[in-house]
Amino acid sequence: MIFSVERAKLLDAVSRLQRSVGAKTAMPVLEGILISAEQGKITLVSYNLEMGMKKEMYASLEFPIIKEAVSENCSFSLGKELILNEEVHFDYLWCERELKRGKEALALYVAYRSPSFAGVRDLSASFNDIEKGRVASEMELYRIAEFSRAAIAIKKYMQETSGDSDIINENTVKTRMVRGRELLKKYLGEEACNYEF
């Protein structure tokens, strides 16, 4: 079990619970503090057959380690940034919805394999520069065109799988693709976006 918690909080909890720890008892199980961790909560319990104490505190259970490990497998910086900025959620409905989305994504991957993300890259720096009045270079224009082709391919993939993915489709990919199209339209004109979402 790996968890992270502030040292001061842990020391405070242990010092309070030491009052009810059995000293030199015939039952060794009473001589310590039981520490358990689940669902983002650390529970410390001590008992000496006369008095019992329990202290609960919230912590990040292995979450920073898991985030770092997952982010190392990201193909591009935007995905890595999203994962590293993710927070621990304790809301049951949110967790249940995300678990369903994950299961649905896995089922889609098994059925249709992964869509091609060739040409998808973070263009925010280029668009920020263009917004400030800088003229885009040939390479930036090429990358924007690649992104447009990738968006069309992803759209086609999403249309093929749309009947199989009710939960995933709730505005995640479509919203980002519509926003990308709006940026392309704004900077390159209507003729650069001859496709509909």
One digit per residue, the tens of pLDDT, for the chain of length 197 reads 666 777 888 888 888 888 777 666 667 666 788 888 776 678 888 887 778 888 887 766 567 777 888 888 877 777 788 888 888 777 788 888 888 888 888 887 788 777 777 888 888 888 888 889 898 899 988 988 898 888 888 888 877 776 655 555 554 555 556 666 666 666 666 665 555 54
Beta-bridged to residue 60, according to DSSP, are 4
pLDDT at 197: 44
Element (H, E) at 56: strand 52-58
Q: Can you read off the two tokens belonging to residue 103?
A: 């299961």
Q: Residue 186 in 3-state DSSP?
A: helix
Cβ-Cβ contacts under 8 Å for 57 (sequence gap 6 or more):
5, 9, 10, 13, 41, 42, 44
CB 44 within 8 A of CB 16: no
Element (H, E) at 41: strand 41-47
pLDDT at 173: 52
Q: Distance of CA 17 to CAs 34, 107, 131, Å?
A: 10, 47, 59
Q: Distance of CA 49 to CAs 27, 44, 67, 117, 143, Å?
A: 10, 16, 42, 62, 70
- Long-range contact pairs involving 135-143 (C-beta distance under 8 Å, separation at least 24): 136/187, 143/119
CB 119 within 8 A of CB 146: yes
Cβ-Cβ contacts under 8 Å for 165 (sequence gap 6 or more):
104, 105, 108
- 74 alpha-carbon distance from chain centroid: 12
What is the reported pTM? 0.40
pLDDT at 170: 55
List the one residue out of 124, 118, 154, 151 whose CA is nearest residue 140. Answer: 124
Q: Distance of CA 67 to CAs 43, 63, 71, 79, 168, Å?
A: 23, 6, 6, 11, 21
